[in-house]
Amino acid sequence: MKIIRTCREMQAYSHELKLKGENIGFVPTMGALHAGHLELVKRAKSENDVVVVSIFLNATQFHNQQDFEKYPRTLEKDSSLLFDMGVDVLFLPTHEELYPDDYKYRVQELDLSQELCGKYRPGHFEGVLTVVLKLLNLTQPTRAYFGEKDFQQLKLIEGMVSSFFLPLEVIGVPTIRESSGLALSSRNERLSSEQKQMAAKISEILKFSQTSTEAKEQLEKLGFQVEYVEDKMGRRLAAVYSNDVRLIDNVSL
């Protein structure tokens, strides 16, 4: 597995692959990898000649500084998992590499990004879209893979790629869940076993409630602090807090 740490080297390597006619599959991550990330890697491997995975904990998308500081950092374990998966390139840029402008230039979307998670996390999607655009420009993928758990994010990235005429395909991959029904998330590592048991009920409530209002009431009865439950884009989407851990999920309507 080749490890690249600078933007210049990543861009040059991608350009070389393109000249050879190689298809590049790209999986951007913030680390703390779990089976959901590995499913993205599997899909990328099955559809491309070369697979590039990035690990970059992007500070600009965190509305809450404490959330950023508490986010799990497991680079050694992550690298080993990717090596075992047969990933071709691991891209490990620093903040200084990706933001030489100190985040003066940003990508902003003025509609969907203002709702749902965007309503409660000002600036979050600016950070997401900005860093994803940078990573796509550097890796120059044929296909880029994102999980459907972050459904609003997926739709915004699809919109950005279309609006800026980027020559790649965005692939959404269905949410991977534990046997309990809990959607896999790096933040799950911060949950106690009791919190995990309770969080496993989120998807069940979203799926079987008659309305979003009913789902919200049931989640609150279980003790979750509910940010939102809304039906949009053919999905029922929710964001809740279990103590100080923010969890999101969605199910198809």
What is the DSSP track for 186-204? Answer: GGGGGS-HHHHHHHTHHHH
Rounded to an integer, what distance in angstroms lies between the CA atom of residue 24 and that of residue 96? 25
Active site residue 37: yes
Sheet holding 24-29, edge to edge: 2-4, 89-91, 50-55, 24-29, 143-147, 169-173
DSSP three-state, residue 219 = helix
**Of 97, 89, 217, 112, residue with least CA distance to 159:** 112
Instruction: Give, to the nearest 10 degrees, the angle between helix 35-47 and helix 75-85.
Output: 30
DSSP class of 32? -
Beta strands 225-232; 235-242: pairing state: antiparallel
Out of 34, 37, 63, 95, the active site residue is 37
DSSP three-state, residue 179 = coil
Sheet holding 245-252, edge to edge: 225-232, 235-242, 245-252
- Counting beta carbons within 10 angstroms of the beta carbon of residue 1, is it exposed (0 to 12), middle (13 to 18) or buried (19 or more)? middle
* Radius of gyration, CA atoms only, the chain: 18
What residues act catalytically? 37
